[in-house]
Amino acid sequence: MRTIGLLGGMSWESSAEYYRLLNNETRRRLGGHHCAKSVLLTVDFAEIEAMQRAGEWEKAGHHLASAAVTLQEAGADMVLLCTNTMHRVAETVEAAIDVPFVHLVDATARRVANAGVRRVGLLATRFTMEMDFYRTRMERHGVEVLVPDGPDRTLVHDVIYQELTQGLIEPFSRDAYRRVIAALERRGAEAVILGCTEITLLIGPADSPLPVFDSTLIHVETAVGLALRPDA
């Protein structure tokens, strides 16, 4: 099995979920006492979040690229950037390493397209919903992305940063997310992407009238598949 490098800490709550899912998926496939060979490097989210607010994406990209190199030097045979939003700088991270970079958006887009879905709603941070890096990558796979309207984008974003990244799970926020998904369905969404790694801490398939694509789980399943390829 190849060693999976996890570039996490954005936030640590979701990185802990990555680690749990990674090992669950490995045990599901291999059974017994098997767990994933992995290396986890956690950055300080306070530093990354400040760069996000300041629009210092290039600086953030170089910061994460340096962290990815450290993962590679620690023995990682591939690198996962354990955050949707920071895939805004994925190209910078990928260019800095010699091992494969497992792109979260590509993995999610392939899963959506293979399911025959052509129009999908996206719940994510404001950066992910309003910048074009996610939407453009999805469109390469033939998938159209719908995002919530302005007030709902603010609500979704604020719940992520003010609650989920702080470890707070509020029932009224779950109800609010259900309402946002219902609004996306009325606009023609055929499914919904949980496009922020913390969102799965709040809602899941049971909360949605639409099929749910959990980007975190898809990312993990893709990585484990690569790590267990016969040529590994």
Q: Is 83 a catalytic residue?
A: yes
Give backbone dihedrals phi and psi of 101, rounded to 5 degrees, phi first.
-105, 120
Q: Which residue is catalytic, options 82, 108, 165, 196?
A: 196
Type of residue found at 186: R
Helix (H) or strand (E) holding 219: helix 215-227
Q: Which residue is catalytic, options 26, 83, 85, 197?
A: 83
The encoded tokens of residue 181 equal: 């998904």
Q: Is 35 a catalytic residue?
A: no
Give backbone dihedrals phi and psi of 5, rounded to 5 degrees, phi first.
-95, 125
DSSP 3-state of 95 = helix
The full 3-state SS of 150-215, as one line of letters, equals HHHHHHHHHHHHHCHHHCCCCHHHHHHHHHHHHHHHHCCCCEEEECCCCHHHCCCHHHCCCCEEEH
Is 141 in contact with 110 (CB distance < 8 Å)? yes
Angle of CA points 156, 111, 24, to nearest 5°: 80
Active site positions, annotated: 83, 196
